[in-house]
Amino acid sequence: MKDLFEKIYKDKGPLGKWASQAEGYFVFPKLEGEISNRMKFQGKEVITWSINDYLGLANHPEIRKVDAEAAAQYGSAYPMGARMMSGHTDLHEKLQDELASFVSKEAAYLLNFGYQGMVSTIDALVAKDDIIVYDVDAHACIIDGVRLHMGKRFTYKHNDVESLEKNLERATKMAEQTGGGILVISEGVFGMRGEQGRLKEIVALKEKFNFRLFVDDAHGFGTLGVTGAGAGEEQGVQKDIDVYFATFAKSLASTGAFIAGDQEIIDYLKYNLRSQMFAKSLQMQLVVGALKRLDMLKTMPELKAKLWENVNTLQSGLKERGFDIGTTQSCVTPVYLKGSIPEAMALVKDLRENYGIFCSIVVYPVIPKGMILLRLIPTATHTLEDVKETLAAFESIRERLENGTYKRLSAAVMAAMGE
């Protein structure tokens, strides 16, 4: 009989197989210092474009103070147990009420982690005879939630409303046979390329089809809409989103998440979300910290205004210089270049070592072969000087990419990394 671990010894998985070349630099890099526009990477200062601290709350002195006081008052244990058993408090309820009111929903429920919470919410919303229709480029947490579903599911082409409509026709026929309903899942903002989910057009399909809409607005919450309530507010369809999700891990710069919707639906979820029923309650310092962060989000519009000043300056500067930034409609700023994976590695090394720019890099198989995606996340802590330096650096690395410098360097990079 085969040893269970045999396959692990042989195959480290699609990402793990690159570990010896990439770990510590391209993956699992260690960014040091306080979370901000400039941090340290391998001892050198870099402009940090890879952290979703959109509003710059992570290291805001008022936040640091509230976090520290809450930790001193409650420690990191309280409350113990799951919400349902012994982990419930007034402050959990207060935070839920404030979140619900902020996103214009009747009720909200806290989740310990966005990822698990999404998986569990999908699981709780559908039964075997229901059908899920979701965007093919959905975040892993949506894909994992759908994996738990025992019934039928269809993907539609990324942000393609015509494809959604076709799949809704199929789903409707199937639902008529099974006697179930339909759940459509989209993101408010797709985090890799930055497009907003076409929520307005999806909602318009409710005229023709009978479905409920679940939106993961991880990147929209705090960054989009007049008040920062997210992609639904931005597109004027918040009330038509049946279940709204956002995480604290981005604009609120913390840990935790929530879902919001009609009271009866949230009450149902409260009693049926397995990831919350069978896991410890969100710890108090995170609850107190989220209350403070939400308050700042609501009362300090200048944070979002500064974020967007940086986003607009960066995105228009890139476009003016002829860079392809795709179809982003959010703060997420992708820059598409042409090159091989070794070239991409040499380019990123050059950006980090010689230009002091730290951004994430995405290559095949996430995007087509021969393409390099550099992903920049502006925040309210960046300065216009950071943007200026970055634009100059990008012009310079593009020239080096085009004149073959990285082709030559890539051989040396691979050798230095033990290839």
Q: In the complex, which residues of this chain contact ligand PLP (CB under 6 A)?
A: 113-115, 118, 139, 141, 187, 191, 216, 218, 247, 249, 257
Give the helix, strand, coil percentages of the chain, each rounded to 5.
45, 15, 40
State which residue, 26 or 113, has the beta carbon closest to ligand PLP: 113
State which residue, 230 or 339, has the beta carbon closest to ligand PLP: 230
Within 10 Å of residue 129's Cβ, how many Cβ atoms?
Answer: 15
The nearest distance, CB 378 to ligand PLP, in angstroms, is 16
The nearest distance, CB 175 to ligand PLP, in angstroms, is 26
The nearest distance, CB 158 to ligand PLP, in angstroms, is 14
Query: What are the backbone angles phi and psi of residue 330, rounded to the nearest 5°?
Result: -150, -170
Question: Containing H/E element for 182?
Answer: strand 182-187
Strands 212-216 and 333-338: what pairing?
Answer: unpaired
State which residue, 141 or 213, has the beta carbon closest to ligand PLP: 141
State which residue, 115 or 323, has the beta carbon closest to ligand PLP: 115
The nearest distance, CB 31 to ligand PLP, in angstroms, is 17
The nearest distance, CB 9 to ligand PLP, in angstroms, is 30
Which class for 322: exposed (0-12), middle (13-18), buried (19 or more C-beta within 10 A)? exposed
The nearest distance, CB 174 to ligand PLP, in angstroms, is 27
State which residue, 229 or 401, has the beta carbon closest to ligand PLP: 229
Query: What are the backbone angles phi and psi of residue 375, rounded to the nearest 5°?
Result: -110, 120
Query: What are the backbone angles phi and psi of residue 57, rounded to the nearest 5°?
Result: -85, -20
> CA distances (Å), 249 to each of 52, 112, 252, 296, 313, in order?
8, 11, 6, 15, 25
For ligand PLP, the nearest residue by Cβ is 114
State which residue, 55 or 351, has the beta carbon closest to ligand PLP: 55
Pair 120, 273: CB distance under 8 Å: yes
Q: Closest Cα to residue 376, out of 115, 140, 137, 47? A: 47
